[in-house]
Chain A
Amino acid sequence: AQSVSQHNHHVILSEAASLELGCNYSYGGTVNLFWYVQYPGQHLQLLLKYFSGDPLVKGIKGFEAEFIKSKFSFNLRKPSVQWSDTAEYFCAVRGNNRLAFGKGNQVVVIP
Protein backbone atom coordinates (compact mmCIF):
# COMPACT_ATOMS: atom_id res chain seq x y z
CA ALA A 1 0.00 0.00 0.00
CA GLN A 2 1.20 3.50 -0.73
CA SER A 3 2.22 5.98 1.95
CA VAL A 4 2.53 9.75 1.84
CA SER A 5 5.08 11.89 3.70
CA GLN A 6 4.65 15.55 4.50
CA HIS A 7 7.37 17.20 6.53
CA ASN A 8 7.38 20.35 8.67
CA HIS A 9 3.93 19.90 10.12
CA HIS A 10 3.82 23.49 11.39
CA VAL A 11 4.79 26.34 9.07
CA ILE A 12 4.64 29.99 10.11
CA LEU A 13 5.38 32.74 7.64
CA SER A 14 4.63 36.38 6.92
CA GLU A 15 2.38 37.71 4.20
CA ALA A 16 4.04 38.00 0.80
CA ALA A 17 6.52 35.24 1.66
CA SER A 18 6.81 32.27 -0.63
CA LEU A 19 5.45 28.89 0.44
CA GLU A 20 6.57 25.43 -0.53
CA LEU A 21 5.18 22.28 1.05
CA GLY A 22 6.84 18.97 0.33
CA CYS A 23 5.00 15.77 -0.47
CA ASN A 24 6.68 12.45 -1.15
CA TYR A 25 4.96 9.15 -1.73
CA SER A 26 5.93 5.53 -1.95
CA TYR A 27 4.23 3.67 -4.78
CA GLY A 28 5.84 2.42 -7.94
CA GLY A 29 2.81 2.31 -10.20
CA THR A 30 0.62 4.91 -11.88
CA VAL A 31 -0.61 7.51 -9.44
CA ASN A 32 -3.11 10.33 -9.26
CA LEU A 33 -1.99 13.16 -6.96
CA PHE A 34 -4.00 15.69 -4.99
CA TRP A 35 -3.63 18.58 -2.60
CA TYR A 36 -6.55 19.32 -0.31
CA VAL A 37 -6.93 22.38 1.92
CA GLN A 38 -8.94 22.85 5.10
CA TYR A 39 -9.53 26.47 6.14
CA PRO A 40 -10.37 27.08 9.81
CA GLY A 41 -13.88 25.87 10.57
CA GLN A 42 -14.49 24.65 7.04
CA HIS A 43 -14.55 21.31 5.24
CA LEU A 44 -11.66 19.81 3.33
CA GLN A 45 -11.71 20.91 -0.30
CA LEU A 46 -9.67 20.15 -3.39
CA LEU A 47 -6.88 22.63 -4.16
CA LEU A 48 -5.47 20.93 -7.26
CA LYS A 49 -4.86 17.53 -8.78
CA TYR A 50 -2.61 15.75 -11.25
CA PHE A 51 -3.73 12.86 -13.43
CA SER A 52 -1.51 13.05 -16.51
CA GLY A 53 0.06 15.49 -18.96
CA ASP A 54 1.89 18.64 -17.91
CA PRO A 55 3.57 17.87 -14.57
CA LEU A 56 3.13 21.47 -13.45
CA VAL A 57 -0.43 21.83 -12.25
CA LYS A 58 -2.14 25.09 -11.41
CA GLY A 59 -4.92 25.19 -8.84
CA ILE A 60 -7.17 27.69 -7.17
CA LYS A 61 -5.98 30.81 -5.33
CA GLY A 62 -2.59 30.98 -7.06
CA PHE A 63 -1.33 27.59 -5.90
CA GLU A 64 0.62 25.26 -8.14
CA ALA A 65 2.25 21.87 -7.73
CA GLU A 66 4.88 20.01 -9.66
CA PHE A 67 4.93 16.26 -10.15
CA ILE A 68 8.48 14.91 -10.34
CA LYS A 69 8.13 11.22 -11.09
CA SER A 70 11.79 10.38 -10.52
CA LYS A 71 11.63 11.86 -7.04
CA PHE A 72 8.16 10.52 -6.19
CA SER A 73 7.26 14.06 -5.21
CA PHE A 74 4.35 16.46 -5.67
CA ASN A 75 5.36 19.68 -3.92
CA LEU A 76 2.93 22.54 -3.48
CA ARG A 77 4.00 26.14 -4.04
CA LYS A 78 2.66 29.66 -3.85
CA PRO A 79 4.97 32.59 -4.64
CA SER A 80 3.30 35.11 -2.31
CA VAL A 81 0.98 34.03 0.48
CA GLN A 82 -1.85 35.98 2.03
CA TRP A 83 -3.30 35.89 5.53
CA SER A 84 -6.29 34.02 4.06
CA ASP A 85 -4.01 31.11 3.14
CA THR A 86 -3.86 30.14 6.80
CA ALA A 87 -5.11 26.55 6.70
CA GLU A 88 -4.14 22.92 6.90
CA TYR A 89 -2.89 21.37 3.68
CA PHE A 90 -3.05 17.64 2.92
CA CYS A 91 -1.32 15.78 0.13
CA ALA A 92 -3.07 12.64 -1.13
CA VAL A 93 -2.01 9.91 -3.53
CA ARG A 94 -4.26 7.44 -5.31
CA GLY A 95 -2.65 4.29 -6.59
CA ASN A 96 -4.18 0.91 -7.38
CA ASN A 97 -7.54 2.50 -6.57
CA ARG A 98 -6.49 3.21 -2.97
CA LEU A 99 -6.21 6.77 -1.67
CA ALA A 100 -3.68 7.65 1.02
CA PHE A 101 -3.31 10.98 2.83
CA GLY A 102 -0.31 12.59 4.42
CA LYS A 103 -0.35 13.99 7.96
CA GLY A 104 -0.91 17.53 6.75
CA ASN A 105 0.89 20.86 7.07
CA GLN A 106 -0.56 23.46 9.42
CA VAL A 107 0.26 26.80 7.77
CA VAL A 108 -0.14 30.07 9.63
CA VAL A 109 0.33 33.32 7.73
CA ILE A 110 1.03 36.35 9.89
CA PRO A 111 -0.31 39.66 8.56
Chain B
Amino acid sequence: EADIYQTPRYLVIGTGKKITLECSQTMGHDKMYWYQQDPGMELHLIHYSYGVNSTEKGDLSSESTVSRIRTEHFPLTLESARPSHTSQYLCASSELGTADTGELFFGEGSRLTVL
Protein backbone atom coordinates (compact mmCIF):
# COMPACT_ATOMS: atom_id res chain seq x y z
CA GLU B 1 0.00 0.00 0.00
CA ALA B 2 1.47 3.33 -1.10
CA ASP B 3 1.82 5.97 1.60
CA ILE B 4 1.33 9.08 -0.44
CA TYR B 5 -1.58 11.37 0.22
CA GLN B 6 -3.17 14.13 -1.76
CA THR B 7 -5.70 16.71 -0.65
CA PRO B 8 -8.20 17.78 -1.67
CA ARG B 9 -9.44 14.86 -3.78
CA TYR B 10 -11.95 17.12 -5.53
CA LEU B 11 -12.01 20.91 -5.83
CA VAL B 12 -14.39 23.18 -7.71
CA ILE B 13 -13.46 26.85 -7.70
CA GLY B 14 -14.04 30.06 -9.60
CA THR B 15 -11.70 31.74 -12.04
CA GLY B 16 -9.01 33.88 -10.45
CA LYS B 17 -8.81 32.01 -7.17
CA LYS B 18 -5.52 30.87 -5.69
CA ILE B 19 -5.33 27.17 -4.92
CA THR B 20 -2.81 24.82 -3.37
CA LEU B 21 -2.87 21.08 -3.90
CA GLU B 22 -1.19 19.24 -1.08
CA CYS B 23 0.95 16.12 -1.41
CA SER B 24 2.67 14.25 1.39
CA GLN B 25 4.53 10.95 1.50
CA THR B 26 5.71 8.95 4.48
CA MET B 27 8.18 6.69 2.65
CA GLY B 28 11.18 9.01 2.93
CA HIS B 29 11.53 9.20 -0.84
CA ASP B 30 13.82 11.88 -2.21
CA LYS B 31 12.20 12.20 -5.61
CA MET B 32 8.71 13.63 -6.00
CA TYR B 33 6.66 14.49 -9.06
CA TRP B 34 3.50 16.21 -10.23
CA TYR B 35 1.72 14.85 -13.28
CA GLN B 36 -1.28 16.22 -15.13
CA GLN B 37 -3.76 13.64 -16.40
CA ASP B 38 -6.67 14.25 -18.75
CA PRO B 39 -9.09 11.55 -19.97
CA GLY B 40 -7.68 9.54 -22.86
CA MET B 41 -4.35 11.33 -22.70
CA GLU B 42 -0.85 10.55 -21.50
CA LEU B 43 0.28 11.53 -18.05
CA HIS B 44 2.34 14.67 -18.49
CA LEU B 45 5.11 15.58 -16.06
CA ILE B 46 4.75 19.22 -14.96
CA HIS B 47 7.15 19.41 -11.98
CA TYR B 48 9.66 17.24 -10.16
CA SER B 49 12.07 17.45 -7.28
CA TYR B 50 15.16 15.49 -6.30
CA GLY B 51 15.08 16.61 -2.68
CA VAL B 52 14.70 19.54 -0.32
CA ASN B 53 15.07 22.91 -2.05
CA SER B 54 15.23 21.21 -5.47
CA THR B 55 12.44 21.87 -7.98
CA GLU B 56 12.44 21.52 -11.75
CA LYS B 57 9.97 22.10 -14.57
CA GLY B 58 8.74 18.99 -16.31
CA ASP B 59 8.02 18.21 -19.94
CA LEU B 60 4.67 20.02 -20.06
CA SER B 61 4.65 23.75 -19.49
CA SER B 62 2.50 24.71 -16.54
CA GLU B 63 1.58 27.99 -14.85
CA SER B 64 1.66 26.23 -11.49
CA THR B 65 4.56 26.42 -9.05
CA VAL B 66 5.88 23.96 -6.48
CA SER B 67 8.02 24.04 -3.38
CA ARG B 68 10.00 21.42 -1.46
CA ILE B 69 10.81 22.72 1.99
CA ARG B 70 10.48 19.31 3.64
CA THR B 71 11.28 15.90 2.21
CA GLU B 72 7.78 14.58 2.76
CA HIS B 73 5.84 17.55 1.41
CA PHE B 74 5.53 18.77 -2.20
CA PRO B 75 2.64 21.22 -2.64
CA LEU B 76 1.52 22.63 -5.99
CA THR B 77 0.11 26.16 -6.22
CA LEU B 78 -1.86 28.02 -8.85
CA GLU B 79 -1.87 31.75 -8.14
CA SER B 80 -4.86 32.50 -10.36
CA ALA B 81 -6.85 29.54 -11.58
CA ARG B 82 -8.43 29.51 -15.04
CA PRO B 83 -10.78 27.04 -16.77
CA SER B 84 -7.80 25.75 -18.80
CA HIS B 85 -6.34 24.45 -15.52
CA THR B 86 -9.23 22.01 -15.14
CA SER B 87 -7.60 18.59 -14.94
CA GLN B 88 -6.56 15.79 -12.63
CA TYR B 89 -3.25 16.32 -10.87
CA LEU B 90 -1.31 13.27 -9.69
CA CYS B 91 1.51 13.38 -7.18
CA ALA B 92 4.11 10.63 -7.11
CA SER B 93 7.35 9.75 -5.38
CA SER B 94 10.24 7.36 -5.90
CA GLU B 95 13.61 6.31 -4.56
CA LEU B 96 16.83 7.97 -5.65
CA GLY B 97 20.25 6.56 -6.44
CA THR B 98 21.05 2.88 -5.91
CA ALA B 99 17.62 2.25 -4.39
CA ASP B 100 15.92 3.53 -7.54
CA THR B 101 13.86 0.65 -8.92
CA GLY B 102 12.12 2.92 -11.39
CA GLU B 103 8.80 2.42 -9.65
CA LEU B 104 6.69 5.47 -8.97
CA PHE B 105 4.25 5.50 -6.06
CA PHE B 106 1.18 7.57 -6.84
CA GLY B 107 -1.36 9.39 -4.75
CA GLU B 108 -5.06 9.13 -5.55
CA GLY B 109 -5.08 12.43 -7.39
CA SER B 110 -6.70 15.83 -7.03
CA ARG B 111 -9.41 16.58 -9.55
CA LEU B 112 -9.60 20.33 -10.12
CA THR B 113 -12.49 22.05 -11.88
CA VAL B 114 -12.25 25.78 -12.55
CA LEU B 115 -15.49 27.50 -13.51
Asked if A pairs with B, the answer is: yes
Chain A interface (Cβ < 8 Å from any Cβ of B): 1, 4, 9, 32, 34, 36, 42-46, 49, 51, 90, 94, 98-104
Closest to B5 in A: A43
B59 touches A101 (CB 8 A): no
Q: Which residues of chain A are near B106, meaning CB under 8 Å?
A: 36, 43-45
Given contacts A43-B2, A46-B103, A49-B101, 17 further A-B contacts (CB under 8 A): A36-B104, A36-B106, A43-B4, A43-B106, A43-B108, A44-B90, A44-B106, A45-B2, A49-B103, A94-B102, A98-B59, A99-B102, A99-B104, A100-B42, A101-B42, A101-B43, A104-B40
Cα–Cα distance between A51 and B103 once the two chains are bound (Å): 11
Chain B interface (Cβ < 8 Å from any Cβ of A): 2, 4, 40-43, 45, 59, 90, 92, 101-104, 106-109
Closest to B43 in A: A101
B108 touches A4 (CB 8 A): no
Task: Say how far A24's CB is from chain B's closest CB, in angstroms.
Answer: 14
Please report the number of residue pairs spanning A and B whose Cβ atoms sit closer than 8 angstroms.
Answer: 42
Q: List 15 A-B contacts (CB under 8 A).
A: A34-B103, A36-B104, A42-B108, A43-B2, A44-B92, A44-B104, A45-B106, A49-B101, A49-B102, A94-B102, A98-B59, A99-B45, A99-B104, A101-B42, A103-B42
Task: Say how far B90's CB is from chain A's closest CB, in angstroms.
Answer: 7
Q: Which residues of chain A are near B104, meaning CB under 8 Å?
A: 36, 44, 46, 99
- CB-CB nearest 9 A-B residue pairs: A44-B106, A101-B43, A43-B108, A43-B106, A101-B42, A32-B102, A46-B103, A103-B42, A103-B41
Cα–Cα distance between A101 and B103 once the two chains are bound (Å): 13
